Amino acid sequence: MITHARHHAARFLGYEVVALHADEKHDQRGQRIVNGLVRLKVPNDVIVKQCRRYMRDGKAVHRPERLHDDDFSIVSQYGAEYRGFVQYYLLAFNAHRLGRVHQVMRTSLLGTLANKHKTKIAPIYRRLRTEVEDRGRTQTALVVTRERSEGQKPLVAMFGGISLAWKEDAIVSDRPPRIDSGVRSEVVQRLLAQKCEHCGSEEGPFEVHHVRRLADLDRPGRRNQPLWVKRMASRRRKTLVICTRCHQDIHRDRSGWRERIRHWKAG
């Protein structure tokens, strides 16, 4: 595609490539210093699309499918989604506009934690609020720490804490280094919670239901998915800690009968 970068933006790898033009910006000698510079820009529709994932009717809302996770897992998942999105677009000269994404996702995260603990957002924010440094700037982050056995460093889940200032020398890597996310310890913690993540029962014994691939949970054209499929797909988890009775129901493909009975009794 051939386009005039001064009047129209060219899309490339999720960015907009533009040529700047501002006659009013001069250096000390009075010469124009902006005109003709080629820069990368965050498209407005990309920001809107990212925000919509955490909004309903124009407002940021909580994610009910994550209420069965512990605080560490919730903050860790939100943090990974935000960090991956923001760090990709730090090459854009208008990266500061990503503050809208931060605001919406933080409100959704706090709303999810508040809904989980049956409280308000304010006390959750005061408890998790932490000041961190990034590129010489003080940033506000939400931090949850999980203590481990003696001699091991605690695991830290963080949302935010990333400066949205333009980073011209940012390196976008499609193969980021592996980070120990503590997935094994998370499964153990979920088992030790002694609560079925499907029906909410606290009567054991408890088992772990596995699927081979996440793609199997969200096949196109499939309608009326049972609740356990929706939960695993939305949480991006291939495991579900459930009681023996629910596990048998899933394998018999009768996992929705309890929800229908509960709905019938409530009606």
pLDDT tens by residue, 191-219: 666 778 777 777 778 888 877 777 767 66
pLDDT band at 187 (very low <50, low <70, confident <90, very high): low
Q: Are 43 and 17 in contact (CB under 8 A)?
A: no
pLDDT of residue 182: 42
Question: How long is the chain?
Answer: 267
pLDDT in tens, 67-86: 878 888 899 989 999 998 99
pLDDT band at 158 (very low <50, low <70, confident <90, very high): very high
How far from chain centre, in Å, is Cα 155? 18
CA–CA dist 178, 36 (Å, integer): 40
Strands across the sheet containing 38-41: 10-12, 15-19, 38-41
The whole-model pTM stands at 0.65
